[in-house]
Amino acid sequence: MGKGGLTLEEEVKRARRVYIIGNGGSFSNAQHLANDLEGAGVRAHTLNPASLTATANDHGYGYVFSRWVLLHGEPGDLLIALSGSGKSKNIVNAVKAAKLIGMRVYTIFGATEGLDMQASEEKQLAIGHRVMKWLRGLS
């Protein structure tokens, strides 16, 4: 359940736009999930590699997602943060930035549930596919 007791499916349906972030395999999962959500009619976005590397070069990797959220996010949008550990500075900073501007936040962090990295990334995809199927009326 997300903030206010809403499921991720309900959060996605309610959001104006959805922003999805992650590092490494979780970044790939973020791109995968954004593509699936777009196919289900949701305005979903993930940071493109050119913007990510330019921001990392200019401002530091710890701020790549928070700067993006602050530039583009608005109240009524949803940030989905994917992380194996939930401790990466750039993910934590983005969650704080999203909350600061009034975005809703949903996190899928494996370490908080005692999952290893591979199990965490599998969980991210499973949840993403469940949401996509729900949006398409398949579940």
Given the DSSP bridges, would you call strands 18-21 and 44-45 parallel, antiparallel or unpaired? parallel
Domain containing residue 67: 3-135
DSSP three-state, residue 83: strand
**pLDDT tens digits, one per residue of 30-73:** 998 998 888 888 888 999 999 999 999 999 999 999 999 999 99
**pLDDT tens digits, one per residue of 77-127:** 999 999 888 889 999 999 999 999 999 999 888 766 666 778 888 888 888
Query: What's the CATH code of the domain at 33?
Result: 3.40.50.10490
- Name the nearest CA neighbour of 83 among 39, 117, 41, 57: 117
Q: Domain tally for the chain?
A: 1
The amino acid present at 7, given as its one-letter code, is: T
Give the whole-angstrom CA distance, residue 42 versus residue 97.
22
* 109 phi/psi in degrees, rounded to 5: -115, 120
Given the DSSP bridges, would you call strands 78-83 and 44-45 parallel, antiparallel or unpaired? unpaired
Spatial contact of 76 and 15, defined as CB atoms under 8 Å apart: yes
For the entire predicted model, the pTM comes to 0.88
Given the DSSP bridges, would you call strands 44-45 and 104-109 parallel, antiparallel or unpaired? unpaired
